[in-house]
């Protein structure tokens, strides 16, 4: 959608400090296309950034829904800062709906794990990633925010692929104790049963749930980190939802260390009140990690990559940008040496 969007009176107000000048924002190639937005590489001032641009839906209602989700994401991102949460840089006023964040070049956890198959992550590495997630979630919950869409697709790796950061806050919500929340769809495979398990799976049903839904999703991601398998393999999303909610099916814990089985089983407990808080999860993971390192007599094994050179992030666009900045090209509008980079302001105003 081109041009400026009308700002509705009841829309949340974005603080001025987060408003960036579109003239200083340059767009590079597209990295990805999500359900509601396209994500581009870009440059803002001297930094590489990711630029997420809202897509107009096929109807006005759809666009309004997407816009609301986008605004919610902006408000959440602007409220929290943590080394395991994607860093918000800003948004543009009176322009396309745009979210500018730090650019993470390591790809998603989903892609990373897929490239590793059939091998699994080294246990120590899996626990370090789980700790990244647990710490990010601790920060969100401490700020009264529920993510509601925690899954490997939404966990991005830094360029060195050593650290995970949580992204996509489109479904994130403030938690208020008495509020009833609508059951918008995330992805059932990772979703706590109480998010959808009334008698039917009707969209828009109102129901009670709380931040413990994120603990359930975390358990499924932890299970994937430990097994590198797809949860509820062979089932459709709906079959997985039915199995988890009505038949109490959970992923198999065969070959998982006992301490971690106990953690998984408490996190995916049907009763949200029996699930631990992320603070407790972090300390359990830390103590498990120290038990691992204390029994170790040899240096930690390197992750088995097989033939896959997974450090090569599948984004020629990123490399293009990096090469350009190394060559010291000035990225200015109208400069033909800018190649595929265009000034955001010129492209979308
Ligand atoms: P969904 O429909 O899943 O909710 P979305 O439209 O809200 O998606 P995101 O999930 O935020 O969009 O982003 C889509 C994809 O873009 C991500 O899976 C990731 O591959 C890429 N991406 C998003 N932000 C960044 C970033 N900061 N750095 C690198 N890649 C990113």
Q: Residue 110 Cα, ligand 1 centroid: separation in angstroms?
A: 12
Coil, strand, or helix at residue 310? Answer: coil
For residue 172, the model assigns a pLDDT of 78
Q: Is the CB of 31 under 6 A from ligand 1?
A: yes
The full DSSP string for 44-94 is: ETTEEEEEEEEPP-SSHHHHHHHHHHHHHHHHHHHH---TTBPPEEEB-TT
CA dist., res. 123 & res. 223, Å (int): 12
Contacts 24+ apart (CB under 8 A), 302-305: 302/122, 303/116, 303/119, 303/121, 303/122, 303/125, 304/116, 304/119, 305/115, 305/116, 305/119
Q: Is the CB of 108 under 6 A from ligand 1?
A: yes
Is the dihedral angle over the CA atoms 107, 108, 109, 113 positive or is it negative? negative
Distances in whole angstroms, Cα of residue 175 to Cα of each of 101, 147, 210, 269, 332: 24, 10, 7, 21, 43
Pocket test for ligand 1, best of 112, 156, 172, 190 (most atoms within 8 A of CB): 156
Closest approach atom of ligand 1 to CA 103: 28
- Whole-model pTM? 0.80
Residue 134 token pair = 């647990």
CA dist., res. 100 & res. 120, Å (int): 33
The full DSSP string for 167-215 is: ---TT-EE--TT--EE-----GGGS-GGGT-SSS--TT-EE---THHHH
Q: What is the pLDDT along the chain (349 residues), one digit of tens a residue?
A: 344 444 445 677 888 999 999 999 999 999 998 778 899 999 999 999 999 999 887 888 888 888 888 888 999 999 999 999 999 999 997 666 899 999 999 999 999 999 999 999 999 999 999 999 999 999 999 999 999 999 999 999 999 999 999 998 877 777 653 344 444 555 889 999 998 875 444 455 555 789 999 999 999 999 999 999 999 999 998 899 999 999 999 999 999 999 999 999 999 999 999 999 999 999 999 999 999 987 664 554 444 444 433 233 233 333 333 333 333 333 333 343 343 456 655 544 3
Q: Is the CB of 168 under 6 A from ligand 1?
A: yes
Supply the residue whose CA is at minimum distance from atom 2 of ligand 1.
Answer: 35
149 in catalytic set: yes
Kind of pairing between the strands at 181-182 and 145-146: unpaired
Supply the residue whose CA is at minimum distance from atom 18 of ligand 1.
Answer: 153
CA dist., res. 248 & res. 161, Å (int): 35
- Contact indicator for 44, 25 with CB cutoff of 8 Å: yes
- Contact indicator for 173, 146 with CB cutoff of 8 Å: yes
Q: Is the CB of 103 under 6 A from ligand 1?
A: yes
The helix-helix angle for 123-142 and 212-227 (nearest 10°) equals: 170
Of 27, 10, 114, nearest in space to 349 by CA: 27
Active-site residue, from 132, 149, 168, 214: 149
For residue 201, the model assigns a pLDDT of 41
Query: b/e for 12-30, b at 16 or more Cβ within 10 A?
Result: eebeeebebebeebbbbbe
For residue 327, the model assigns a pLDDT of 37
CA atoms within 13 Å, Cβ hemisphere of 77: 27
Domains assigned to the chain: 16-102 (3.30.200.20), 109-286 (1.10.510.10), 300-348 (no CATH)
Neighbours of 336 (CB within 10 A): 5
For residue 5, the model assigns a pLDDT of 45
């Amino acid at each position: 959608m081109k041009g400026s969007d009308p700002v509705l009176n009841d829309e949340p107000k974005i603080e001025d400090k987060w408003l960036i000048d579109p003239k200083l924002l340059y767009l590079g190639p597209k990295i990805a296309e999500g359900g509601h937005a396209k994500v581009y590489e870009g440059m803002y001032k001297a930094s590489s950034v990711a630029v997420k641009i809202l897509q107009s839906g096929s109807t006005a209602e759809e666009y309004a829904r997407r816009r609301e989700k986008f605004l919610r994401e902006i408000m959440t991102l602007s409220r929290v800062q943590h080394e395991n949460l994607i860093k918000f840089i800003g948004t543009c006023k009176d322009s396309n709906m745009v979210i500018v964040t730090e650019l993470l070049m390591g790809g998603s956890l989903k892609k990373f794990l897929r490239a590793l198959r059939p091998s699994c992550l080294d246990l120590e590495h899996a626990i370090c990633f789980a700790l990244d997630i647990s710490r990010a979630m601790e920060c969100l919950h401490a700020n009264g925010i529920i993510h509601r869409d925690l899954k490997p697709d939404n966990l991005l790796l830094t360029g060195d692929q050593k650290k995970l950061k949580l992204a996509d806050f489109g479904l994130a919500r403030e938690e208020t104790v008495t509020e009833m929340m609508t059951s918008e769809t995330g992805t059932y495979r990772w979703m706590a049963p109480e998010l959808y398990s009334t008698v039917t799976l009707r969209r828009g049903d109102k129901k009670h749930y709380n931040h413990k839904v994120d603990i359930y999703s975390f358990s499924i991601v932890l299970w994937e980190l430990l097994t590198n398998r797809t949860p509820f393999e062979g089932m459709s999303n709906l079959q997985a939802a039915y199995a988890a909610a009505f038949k109490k099916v959970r992923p198999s814990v065969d070959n998982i260390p006992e301490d971690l089985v106990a953690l998984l089983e408490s996190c995916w407990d049907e009763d949200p009140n029996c699930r631990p808080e992320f603070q407790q999860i972090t300390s359990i993971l830390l103590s498990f990690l120290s038990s691992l390192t204390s029994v170790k007599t040899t240096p930690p094994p390197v992750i088995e990559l097989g033939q896959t050179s997974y450090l090569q992030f599948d984004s020629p666009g990123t490399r293009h940008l990096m090469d350009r900045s190394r060559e010291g090209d000035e990225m200015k509008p109208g400069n033909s040496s800018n190649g595929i980079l265009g000034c955001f302001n010129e492209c979308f105003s």
